[in-house]
């Protein structure tokens, strides 16, 4: 019995001697997860709340013990500072993300980070540096730092009762199990099975800041490997020659918008006239409006990769298992022109880790495109003007435009000239919103109006030729539609309204007079399909049909 007490005492010494660190580490690594759960589950029964808090504390307690043991053995001051620095940094980042966007660090946040160039980063800082979430985060950080300093100064005068430490044993046992579960996830080598692991018990290993960080980095690493597979499949597809039996001359144009809330488009019933040019084309019988188009993802990289790839998600096909559709067009004899206003600053820029390394991979870029832009522009009409100046067209052309669209902040997506400043905060009849929120909506509506003008310019350029144009957005965007929020959220379980505004997308198909004359059967088929459900990952199949490939 004495031996048992001796060994228990030895096991508890690291906690007793490093009590301030043990407590602070536990709280700081578990607090963001607890806050996030309380925000998204405000009406849960008390028993469920207690159960979730228990789960959220298990891994942090176990990890706090491990690091307390190391500090107790090494007495390293530098290691202590390093560990405090890590948990404080993770706390700061996660609290800001929670209070501003309703999410912790995640693979998608890291993707956004890698896909953000310097211009977007400065816009982000300018937008949020004075926000309430930023101020709350700064105040919390200062408060926690003061507490740590005070606690460390008095650490030798504070001891914890052994019975209390022994009572925490169930936490440590479960925390050890969850740690092993997290380590197991590192052996998973594909995104599908990793997400399946997460959907099971794996999610409980990621509810704290450290576990979440490890999972997110591993998930992103797997995404990079999938890029490699996609590139290899595209190279193989480029070796297959196709015989095109269609017309002598044809222009197939795909315009991909950005962050387009279809419920702010008058062509979809919005009260303000934000899409006059599209409505004019619709009244002329040239434009077909799809009413039930959706994106499978609310993040650009995943939405774009599934649009560019010839996979179909509904058939269980992953985007990286199939080649990019521009390669098919190129093999069929089309000249492929890609004008991208979100092109990274270098061909495989760090800022565009996921999407840029796929679209502009050095091994496939010459196989995929005949010509592409080298410069991006502050406004989309300048991108199209550069296309008019520089693009070398042939008889058969596939033209792809990737616009900045209404990307946040929407107020920076259109020239502040009188002809584009159609709407003002006085036009936004929302008594539930403050002045800044109504101005944000007015900016978004002006960006939508400007986007309509850009599409009209593309239509006018191809109007006299045998041409068909498909326009759709990569994903939607919330614009204070039902709550005080603008942007997209990355939480796992979204409300019905969040899904509606973030995943529903606008989609239209425009036909030139010559195309309508040459293909009345295709035009009629499109018009009959306009009310059917359509997912944006099937865009390649639609384009193949329109081009008769």
Whether the ω angle into residue 409 lies within 30 degrees of 0, i.e. cis, is yes
Task: Find, among 246, 264, 255, 212, the residue nearest to 105 by Cα.
Answer: 212
Q: How far, in Å, are 192, 255, 297, 493 from residue 499 at the CA level?
A: 21, 23, 10, 10
On whether the CB atoms of residues 478 and 488 are closer than 8 A, the answer is yes
Radius of gyration of the chain, Cα coordinates, nearest whole angstrom: 27
Q: What is the pTM of this model?
A: 0.74
Looking at residue 422, what is its pLDDT?
96
| Pairing mode of beta strands 287-290, 507-511 | antiparallel
Q: For the chain, which ranges sit under pLDDT 50?
A: 346-351
State how far the Cα of 382 lies from the Cα of 389, in Å rounded to an integer: 11
Bridge partner list, 95:
none
Q: How far, in Å, are 149, 178, 184, 321, 447 from residue 193 at the CA level?
A: 43, 18, 12, 15, 40
List, as one string, the DSSP characters of 86-151: HHHHHHHHHHHHHHHHS--S-HHHHHHHHT--HHHHHHHHHHHTTSHHHHHHHHHHHHHHHHHHHH
On whether the CB atoms of residues 473 and 259 are closer than 8 A, the answer is yes
**Could you give phi then psi for residue 397, rounded to 5 degrees?**
-135, 135
Task: Find, among 197, 253, 250, 189, the residue nearest to 221 by Cα.
Answer: 189
Task: Find, among 245, 277, 249, the residue nearest to 510 by Cα.
Answer: 277
Q: Which residue has the tokens 């018990």?
A: 201
The count of C-alpha atoms lying within 13 angstroms of the C-alpha of 243, restricted to the half-sphere facing its C-beta, is 1
The count of C-alpha atoms lying within 13 angstroms of the C-alpha of 406, restricted to the half-sphere facing its C-beta, is 34
On whether the CB atoms of residues 282 and 456 are closer than 8 A, the answer is no
Q: How far is CA 416 from the centre of its chain?
A: 28
């Amino acid at each position: 019995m004495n031996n048992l007490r001796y060994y228990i005492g030895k096991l508890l010494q690291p906690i007793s001697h490093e009590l301030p660190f043990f407590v602070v580490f536990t709280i700081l690594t578990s607090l963001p997860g607890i806050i996030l759960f309380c925000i998204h589950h405000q009406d849960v029964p008390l028993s469920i709340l207690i159960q979730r808090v228990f789960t959220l504390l298990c891994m942090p307690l176990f990890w706090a013990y491990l690091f307390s043991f190391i500090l107790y053995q090494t007495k390293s001051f530098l290691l202590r500072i390093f560990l405090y620095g890590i948990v404080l940094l993770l706390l700061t980042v996660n609290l800001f993300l929670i209070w501003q966007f309703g999410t912790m660090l995640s693979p998608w946040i890291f993707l956004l980070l890698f896909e953000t160039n310097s211009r977007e980063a400065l816009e982000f800082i300018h937008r949020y540096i004075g926000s309430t979430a930023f101020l709350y985060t700064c105040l919390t950080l200062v408060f926690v730092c003061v507490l740590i300093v005070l606690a460390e100064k008095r650490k030798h005068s504070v001891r914890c009762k052994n019975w209390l430490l022994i009572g925490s044993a169930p936490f440590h046992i479960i925390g050890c199990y969850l740690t092993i579960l997290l380590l197991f996830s590192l052996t998973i080598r594909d995104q599908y099975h990793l997400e399946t692991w997460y959907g099971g018990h794996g999610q409980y290993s990621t509810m704290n800041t450290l576990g979440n960080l490890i999972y997110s980095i591993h998930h992103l690493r797997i995404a990079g490997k999938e890029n490699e597979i996609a590139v290899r499949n595209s190279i193989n597809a480029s070796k297959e020659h196709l015989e095109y039996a269609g017309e002598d001359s044809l222009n197939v144009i795909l315009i991909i918008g950005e962050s387009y809330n279809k419920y702010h488009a008058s062509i979809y019933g919005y009260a303000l006239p934000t899409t006059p040019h599209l409505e004019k084309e619709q009244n002329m019988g040239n434009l077909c409006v799809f009413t039930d188009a959706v994106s499978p993802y609310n993040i650009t990289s995943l939405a774009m990769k599934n649009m560019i790839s010839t996979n179909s998600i509904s058939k269980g096909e992953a985007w990286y298992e199939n080649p990019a559709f521009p390669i098919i067009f190129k093999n069929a004899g089309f000249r492929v022109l890609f004008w991208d206003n979100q092109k990274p600053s270098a061909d495989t820029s760090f800022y565009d880790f996921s999407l840029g390394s796929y679209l502009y991979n050095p091994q496939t870029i010459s196989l995929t495109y005949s010509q592409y832009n080298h410069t991006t522009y502050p406004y989309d009409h300048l991108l199209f003007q550069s296309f008019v100046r520089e693009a070398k067209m042939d008889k058969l052309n596939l033209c792809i435009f990737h616009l900045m669209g209404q990307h946040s902040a929407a107020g920076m997506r259109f020239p502040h000239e009188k002809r584009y400043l159609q709407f003002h905060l006085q036009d936004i009849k929302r008594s539930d919103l403050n002045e800044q929120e109504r101005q944000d909506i007015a900016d978004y509506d002006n960006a939508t109006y400007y986007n309509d003008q850009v599409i009209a310019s593309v239509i006018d350029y191809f109007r006299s030729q045998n041409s068909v144009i498909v326009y759709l957005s990569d994903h939607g965007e919330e614009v204070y539609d039902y709550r005080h929020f603008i942007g997209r959220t990355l939480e796992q379980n979204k409300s019905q309204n969040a899904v509606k505004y973030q995943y529903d997308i606008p989609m239209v198909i425009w036909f030139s007079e010559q195309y309508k004359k040459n293909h009345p059967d295709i035009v009629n088929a499109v018009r009959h399909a306009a009310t059917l459900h359509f997912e944006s990952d099937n865009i390649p199949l639609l384009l193949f049909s329109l081009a008769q490939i």
